[in-house]
Amino acid sequence: LHFHDCFVLGCDASILLDGTATFTGEKTAGPNNNSVRGYEVIDTIKSQVGSLCPGVVSCADIVAVAARDSVVILGGPTWTVRLGRRDSTTASFSAAGTDLPGPNLSLSQLISAFSKKGLTTKEMVVLSGTHTIGKARCTSFRNHIYNDTDIDPAFAASKQKICPRSGGDDNLSPLDGTTTVFDNVYFRGLEEKKGLLHSDQVLYNGGSTDSLVKTYSIDTATFFTDVANAMVRMGDISPLTGTNGQIRTNCRKVN
């Protein structure tokens, strides 16, 4: 949720806005529709925080803190979340469709997409490692399991049982073997050609990022340090501060 927010207009909670008569929200854009979860969780947090200190904590900051706390609860590293973001008063359906890296991108396309947001290739790889938690929809990995060659045949066959060639778009598969634990198993899976998404496996396919994957697959401490630093850097993408934006009372709509 934090990633899909920050890559579209910056870390400004624009992803949380429902569509209105004047703009189409980001929730129904291709990369988000039927995929992003947790809006109700943010609503609950906002309600509780807002009752204690109304008009102080932005929805954008709540998303940033919730991302950190979720990682910690699942066994991952912690980091100091920089605070003071304000909330956007609009959203961009079109930017969500163009700026969020898709599951079928090549390595060079991934590097470019992250570079446009000021993030390095190393940060792209380590942030991809957050796929250690969560699941993906069949529509996101169908092409990889049926058409790509850089995939373990038995792994592909097992996923084809979940994801048919047609239909079942919303069927879910874990992104790695320990999907409720924040660990480095994702990278070990890449070494075994068991990346679920095309955009996962390209990180370890004879290219420039193979060495990073190898490092993170054997060194949890380095992965934890680097992903914590990368999450802070991602949280700094084009925030609204000062008099820009607002502190939304309801994360789903402009004040």
Binding-site positions: 5, 8, 10, 12, 14, 26, 101, 131-132, 176, 179, 183
Which residues make Cβ contacts (< 8 Å) with residue 36, sequence separation at least 6?
1, 4, 15, 27
Our answer to whether residue 4 is catalytic in this structure is yes
DSSP H stretches of helix in the chain: 2-6, 39-52, 59-73, 93-99, 107-115, 121-128, 138-147, 153-162, 185-191, 198-201, 210-218, 220-234
Residues in the annotated binding site for substrate? 101
Of 2, 4, 144, 198, which is the active-site residue? 4
Burial (0-12, 13-18, 19+ Cβ within 10 Å), 51: exposed
Residues in the annotated binding site for heme b? 131
| φ, ψ for residue 174, nearest 5 deg | -60, 145
Active site residues: 4
